[in-house]
Structure 1
Amino acid sequence: MPNASHPAFNAYRNGTSAALQWLVQQQQWREQAASLLQRRMARDRVALEATLESLRGAQSWSDFGAASQTVWRDYLVASAALWQENTAATVQATGVWANAARDAMQQWQDTLAGLQPGAVAATGQVGAVQPMREWMAAFERAMSAASGAFDAPTHAQGGQHGR
């Protein structure tokens, strides 16, 4: 027996799928953030241990100053590497999120097309159409506003107050 298409269920399935995909991506982001935090703590621990060792081994202020410079250089190199990794992960996560949002919007639009008045007459299911359209319109407005906030800075020279 073939599966019959149910537009209202398809709309629910697409929305739930998009929400679950978003949650998976959020979990991956949290795991990356936790890993980065662990590496930052390890960097700090190494720097503290190296400072302590340089203090123990120093015979004069000059010895301690030279050893401290090495510790700081290593600390700054490690910090720059962590910063670069974090920036790359942020750019990647932004692209993944944008692609997921685009795909979800396309799926919802395709589902809504099946719920259009002509399709409703064929299926007899009208209940899910109007709330979904209103929600989609609100979501599209929010996405447009959010993407516009990143496109043009509004804070330049008091622009946020209409001056």
Structure 2
Amino acid sequence: MTAVTDISVRESSGTEGDLSAYAGQVLLIVNTASACGFTPQLGDLEALYRDYHPRGFSVLAFPCNQFGAQEPGSAEEIATFCEKNYGVTFPVFAKIEVNGANAAPIFAHLKKEAPGLLGSEAIKWNFTKFLVDRAGRVVERYAPTTSPKDIAKDIEKLL
């Protein structure tokens, strides 16, 4: 089985890397968008990050423009928006695709390990969330409508 932390990702700078810096941490991986009805969740995600980061938790955001073209900005514009409007200090990676032939490897893996409703692997909308344990295993998938605050108890169990 592949650990999430072994998967290649693109940094917001455009350089390729992997998630090995997050090995041993509990992760909440989210596809985000700046112009979505769920965008205010960025503030709640930041609150989780600040509360639990000292205990080995990180939020990893992957902007995506596949749903209603709700993330049209550049990497710099996205980072500025997230920091200015929601005080985001957690990592925001390069914009990716989460569905289709060009889906980023990280989301291909997450979807395979934690299928959605009725076994569908497709991401239905922005702010789908995946909880990953310290061993890099995907343990839960949450719908966009699930508030980050409602995930806190599951994070606590893994910390």
Task: Give yes or no for TM over 0.5.
Answer: no
Computing the radius of gyration from Cα coordinates, the structure with the larger value is 1
TM-score (norm 2): 0.21
Greater share of residues in strand = 2
Greater share of residues in helix = 1
